[in-house]
Amino acid sequence: MRIAFLTYENPSAENTGDSQYTAGLLRKLVEHGHHVHLVFFSEDLPADSAVALDKYASATTIVPFLRPGMLRVVASPKPGMIAHRFSTDYIDAVRTLLQNESFDAVVVNFFKMAYLIDTIKSVSPSVPAVLISHNAEKQNSCSLYRHQTNPVWWLGCFQDWVKTAYYEPILLKQFDAVTTICSVDRAFYEKEYNLRHVSVVPAGWNGSCDPAVHRDEALRNVIVCGSFTWQPKKQNLLSLLNCPGFKRFHEHGITVYLVGHADKAFVESVNSRYPGVVMTGTVDDVSPFYRKCSVALVPERMGGGFKLKLLEAAAYGTGIVAVKGAVTDEGFQRGVHFLEADSFEDLVDTAIGLVDHKEQLKSLRMNAQALLGSRFNWEFSYQALMAAIDDVRQFPKPD
């Protein structure tokens, strides 16, 4: 099959959840022999770079990227993520590609690139266009403004929610099919926007599962892993750190590791302010930190949900404790694969209890790793994506 794959970033970096998800799907498409023409912005490499992309695509088009000013993004009637990536150069590149080559499907990766649908349908109206959605953005932007305490950030997030709530259904309804990473987002699209061709293409896990899942000892360390340079992730973390019960970790002799990208000043501030906390900042490898921890905490109240990091925690053999609403895939069952807490206070107490409950901890670990092997692998994800494409090719959406 010939597929035009339109995305916003170079997938080879694989240094964010979005790029890892994109790279996993692209690798599988290439491995199965599909011709994939990949188009992306040159934000992180020169447009004439000879970077090796053969494991992600059969051919590439790299579009120069000029970062717009913040005033232009805020003043735009479009949602911030679209305004930030809107490019006439990219539109021209897609138009040229579709005029000069024939494709069996066009895949648009991420809502921020959904503005391309007008060009796709004007040049190739009979070719199925599939949007890979990473989040239900109306819900995502709503969670951002609802949990903001800073009035300036609240206003910015609120106006972006208004724009997103208007544009998301308009754009999504023009695609022949939409895929989501989790079942919660699929249900939202079906109910809220009355979309019919919606399917789940879950994230997969690249590596093997850590045999530490079989260990009997309960290490008195817990971990929160993520990129804390992203404002919602940072705010989630601060909400956990500042909840009244957080000090109970230290009182129970439990060290909290915070691992992932973070500004140096923030790292120093956290380490000096919160006893029993070790914040690392950027690390080359997260595995040593997972291996010294019994439990992974998921304090995600705002933002797009906890997907790849959830798989990472399961793969490294940690028990998982999540605040309510953070786990958004129907595959992960509460009480079987993870424990759920109603509040940050409850999250702390539940995690402390799990550290001291060896049998329950081992059961959760083993169940989560078994689920990882059966559902959250890239072959499963690839088959789900191809089923979505094949379905819309056989049963086109009526005009």
Q: What gap in Å lies between CA 308 and CA 315, rounded to an integer?
A: 11
Q: Where are the domains of the chain?
A: 2-204+377-394, 211-374
User: What does the block give as tokens for 67?
Assistant: 């970062």
What integer pLDDT is reported at residue 267 of this predicted model?
Answer: 96
2-204+377-394 and 211-374 share one fold: yes
Q: Is the C-alpha dihedral spanning 340, 345, 350, 352 positive or negative?
A: positive
pLDDT in tens, the chain (399 residues): 999 999 998 888 777 778 889 999 999 999 999 999 999 998 755 444 445 788 999 999 999 988 888 888 888 999 999 999 999 999 999 999 999 999 999 999 999 999 999 999 999 999 999 999 998 888 878 777 777 777 887 788 899 889 999 999 999 999 999 999 988 899 999 999 999 899 999 888 876 666 555 566 668 999 999 888 877 788 889 999 999 999 999 999 999 999 998 999 999 999 999 999 999 999 988 889 998 999 999 998 766 555 678 888 888 889 999 998 888 877 889 999 999 999 999 999 999 999 989 889 999 999 998 888 788 889 989 999 999 999 998 877 666
CA distance 109 to 206: 20
What is the amino acid identity at position 225? C
Specify the CATH class of 2-204+377-394 in words. alpha beta
Sheet of 339-341, strands arranged across: 277-281, 255-259, 221-225, 295-298, 319-323, 339-341
Query: What CATH number labels 211-374?
Result: 3.40.50.2000
| Cα 77 to Cα 274: distance, rounded to the nearest angstrom | 42
**pTM score, two decimals?**
0.84
Contacts of 120 (CB under 8 A, 6+ apart): 94, 98, 106, 108, 127, 129
Task: Give the number of other Cβ atoms within 10 Å of residue 123's Cβ.
Answer: 15
Cα separation, 290 vs 315, in Å, equals: 10
For residue 319, give both structure tokens: 């028990």
Structure tokens at 381: 């994800």
Q: Euclidean distance between the first and final Cα of the chain, in Å?
A: 24
